[in-house]
A and B are shown apart, each in its own frame.
Chain A
Amino acid sequence: MSTRLILNAIGKSYGSGDSPVTALAEITLTLNDGEFLAIQGPSGSGKSTLLNICGLIDQPSSGDYYLNGTPVAQLNAEQRCAQRRKALGFIFQRHQLIPAMTVSENIAYPLLLNHVPAKQIRHEVEQLLSKLDLTHRRKHLPKQLSGGERQRVGIARALIKRPQLVIADEPSASLDHHHALAGLQLMRELNQTFEASFLIASHDPFVIDFCDRKLTLLDGRIGESS
């Protein structure tokens, strides 16, 4: 088993001068291929900041970050963008669907960015729509969906390109138990088939128990891990 992600003494602070705000301090962790890691902690503990750094949409103030063995600090903006496009999948807490795109278009978008042939895109989208019980919503716009449906579209969009690492912020938010389980099973399927790794921030005990490993963040530091 190889290492997907290594964080070594990662710190993140905002502001400068006499009173900088420390969001993360001395975070060191490793995530292997095919591993499910749950991050829990109270609001403001730094979970989202950690996910942003791991997902290459924010940069640490200190420390080293290696993704698939590559030191992220050496990547320029264009290369980080390419990594997000090819290797990373995001499930956002607030869904973040593109309002002008239909359900099908939202799900298909990551494949389109990766120049997957149209026929294959249609096939993959139909499969995911079916698995997440969204087939009847394929032509609807996000504003026409319920919160749970939007979250399922967000999960489908993150998983459709079979990323090496999925960053998920509260993936079960707005989902009932049945659909939360369907989403998690889909993640597990991806995990088992393609050795995708998952970094999941959640308060949901059901999701945390589903993961292989968990760690707790408290005031920007790793409190405990198991």
Chain B
Amino acid sequence: MNWPLIALRNILRDGTRVISTVLIIAVGLTALLLGSGFMLSTYDSLQEIGMRTEGHVIIIDDNPRPLLGGTHQQLTLSNWQPVQASLLSDERVLRVLPRAHFEGIISNGNHSAVFFGSGVDPQEEFRVHGPFLRTTGTLDPWLTKTDIADVMLGVELARTLNAKTGDLLHIQTSNSVGKINHASLRLAGIYQNGTPEIDNHTLMVSLDTAAKLLETDNISQLSIYLNQHQNSTAMQAELQNRFDNATVQTWQQRAELYNKVKSLYDRIFGAMGIIILTVVFLAITNTISLAIYQRREEIATLSALGTKPTSIYANFILEACLIGTAACLVGMLVAFTASHAINFSGLMMPAPPGKTEGYPIFIYISWSHYLLTSLTLITIVASASLLASYKAAKINIANALS
């Protein structure tokens, strides 16, 4: 006996209702795949920003000593060069970038502004940021070995100062004991990443320049970039054991935007998923309940012939699963086509909170994701049909046959 074929014949007996059920489930699956595909691509993007900005694993001093000038002047990570060299010998490590944070005032003679600065490795810093920190008008190479040091400004800070590449700017900052230091720097270029805090208030100089201004070669943090970000947690635990007096964190512990957006999207898409799954559950319950009502005589006959209730459930579950599978195939095809259309269309999302720029909508397409979502939906369909078909086994045989 070919049960799937018999189930298919039963399904085709009620084509119109089955088609509407297939469409409801297919639309639900399409919405789930598009929504979750967008969510996952957003997570990937934010994860990439977080990792590129902070590094996969970050070492910071565990005993900050508050000094004059506020938190940015606390350059407490000393003797870091041997640590950097040691980490670079680890085959899992791609780069180890020192960063020294400080703050002060920058002026072009006519205008001045408060800044938050970073002393960075000029050769590597912009490579790790990649497309998430776009530079314009950069002198090549920036921070050249001239008698005047270079500075890079956030785009809005440069606009505030009406500064252009090549202009001479003056900065004033205090060292760890409160001594005021000055320097004249050449504007080597402008960067932009779409986050107002960064674009409006930050600047970068070479680590050497920062050391001269701050009169120390201590740094604020060591950012470690790995070959594979999946190693972040293991590496963090390893380094935390190795450095008792330092705090070692993963990028995720410092990625505030990623964590906030993920929490928000998880709730939004979670609620959307629950609503869609409920609609699917109700649609299939309705379809199977109507089928049971219309096929009461047939069910009663099966019972009269001695069919076990479990076999009667199994027939309806099989029918529901066939409907679910057909719907999932349609839903996956529609979602796949729509995702490609959206990805190629260049549609933009508006700027999210904390950003000044929108970003292109991208829908993540992955067959494992498609299959997992479809299996979840088919499980819901099977559960709904089990619930509905439970009534079938309760039919009064004599009444149904009379």
Write the residues of chain A forming the contact surface with B, with a CB cutoff of 8 angstroms.
48-49, 52, 55, 57-58, 78, 81-86, 88, 90, 92, 96-101, 105, 108-110, 112-113, 141, 157
Chain B residues with CB below 8 A from A49, complex form? 398
CA distance A110 to B307 in the complex (A): 9
B306 x A82 contact (CB < 8 A):
yes
CA distance A108 to B2 in the complex (A): 12
B371 at the interface (CB under 8 A from A): no
Give me 15 other A-B pairs in contact (C-beta within 8 A), A96-B304, A97-B301 excluded.
A52-B398, A57-B304, A57-B397, A58-B398, A84-B304, A85-B305, A85-B306, A86-B306, A96-B297, A96-B301, A96-B401, A98-B298, A99-B298, A100-B10, A113-B306
B303 at the interface (CB under 8 A from A): yes
CA distance A86 to B308 in the complex (A): 12
Binary per-residue interface labels of chain B (296-329) against chain A in the complex, 1 for a CB within 8 Å, 0 otherwise = 0110111111111100000000000000000000
| Contacts known (A48-B402, A58-B397); A141 close to B9, Cβ less than 8 A | yes
Chain B residues with CB below 8 A from A92, complex form? 301, 401
Residues of chain B in range 102-153 having any CB-CB distance to chain A below 8 Å: none
B305 x A113 contact (CB < 8 A):
yes
B1 at the interface (CB under 8 A from A): yes
Main SS of the interface on chain B? helix
Chain A residues with CB below 8 A from B10, complex form? 99-100
Of B298, B303, B308, B309, the contact of A57 (CB 8 Å cutoff): B303
B369 at the interface (CB under 8 A from A): no
| Contacts known (A57-B397, A92-B401); A109 close to B9, Cβ less than 8 A | no
B6 x A57 contact (CB < 8 A):
no
B1 x A108 contact (CB < 8 A):
yes
A100 x B1 contact (CB < 8 A):
no
CA distance A86 to B307 in the complex (A): 11
B305 x A100 contact (CB < 8 A):
no
Of B305, B397, B401, the contact of A109 (CB 8 Å cutoff): B305
Using CB atoms, name the residue of chain A closest to B11: A100
Q: Could you pull out 25 A-B pairs where Cβ atoms are within 8 angstroms? A: A49-B398, A52-B397, A52-B398, A52-B401, A57-B300, A57-B303, A57-B398, A57-B401, A84-B303, A84-B304, A84-B305, A85-B307, A88-B306, A96-B297, A96-B304, A96-B401, A99-B9, A99-B10, A99-B298, A100-B9, A105-B6, A108-B1, A109-B1, A110-B306, A157-B305
B13 x A100 contact (CB < 8 A):
yes
Query: How distant is B141 from chain A, measured CB to nearest CB, in Å?
Result: 77
A55 x B9 contact (CB < 8 A):
no
Chain A residues with CB below 8 A from B1, complex form? 105, 108-109, 112
Query: How distant is B298 from chain A, measured CB to nearest CB, in Å?
Result: 6
Chain B residues with CB below 8 A from A112, complex form? 1
Query: How distant is A157 from chain B, measured CB to nearest CB, in Å?
Result: 8
Binary per-residue interface labels of chain B (1-38) against chain A in the complex, 1 for a CB within 8 Å, 0 otherwise = 10000110110010000000000000000000000000
Query: How distant is B179 from chain A, measured CB to nearest CB, in Å?
Result: 91
| Contacts known (A92-B401, A112-B1); A98 close to B304, Cβ less than 8 A | no
Chain A residues with CB below 8 A from B13, complex form? 99-100
CA distance A52 to B297 in the complex (A): 14
Query: How distant is B375 from chain A, measured CB to nearest CB, in Å?
Result: 27
CA distance A141 to B7 in the complex (A): 14
CA distance A99 to B299 in the complex (A): 11
> Closest 10 A-B residue pairs measured CB to CB?
A85-B306, A100-B9, A58-B398, A84-B306, A57-B397, A96-B301, A100-B10, A52-B398, A100-B6, A57-B304
CA distance A112 to B1 in the complex (A): 8
Of A52, A81, A157, the contact of B308 (CB 8 Å cutoff): A81
Chain B residues with CB below 8 A from A84, complex form? 303-306
Residues of chain B in range 277-303 having any CB-CB distance to chain A below 8 Å: 297-298, 300-303
CA distance A90 to B306 in the complex (A): 10
A110 x B305 contact (CB < 8 A):
yes
Residues of chain B in range 73-129 having any CB-CB distance to chain A below 8 Å: none
CA distance A48 to B302 in the complex (A): 18
Chain A residues with CB below 8 A from B298, complex form? 96, 98-99
Chain B residues with CB below 8 A from A141, complex form? 9
Query: How distant is A132 from chain B, measured CB to nearest CB, in Å?
Result: 18
Query: How distant is A54 from chain B, measured CB to nearest CB, in Å?
Result: 12
CA distance A101 to B398 in the complex (A): 22
Query: How distant is B59 from chain A, measured CB to nearest CB, in Å?
Result: 69
Query: How distant is B389 from chain A, measured CB to nearest CB, in Å?
Result: 15
A55 x B304 contact (CB < 8 A):
yes
Query: How distant is A15 from chain B, measured CB to nearest CB, in Å?
Result: 13
Query: How distant is A49 from chain B, measured CB to nearest CB, in Å?
Result: 8
B302 x A90 contact (CB < 8 A):
no
Using CB atoms, name the residue of chain A closest to B309: A81
| Contacts known (A101-B6, A108-B1, A141-B9); A90 close to B305, Cβ less than 8 A | yes
Chain A residues with CB below 8 A from B300, complex form? 57, 96
Using CB atoms, name the residue of chain B closest to A58: B398
CA distance A141 to B401 in the complex (A): 20
Query: How distant is B307 from chain A, measured CB to nearest CB, in Å?
Result: 6
Of A58, A81, A108, the contact of B306 (CB 8 Å cutoff): A81
Query: How distant is B301 from chain A, measured CB to nearest CB, in Å?
Result: 4
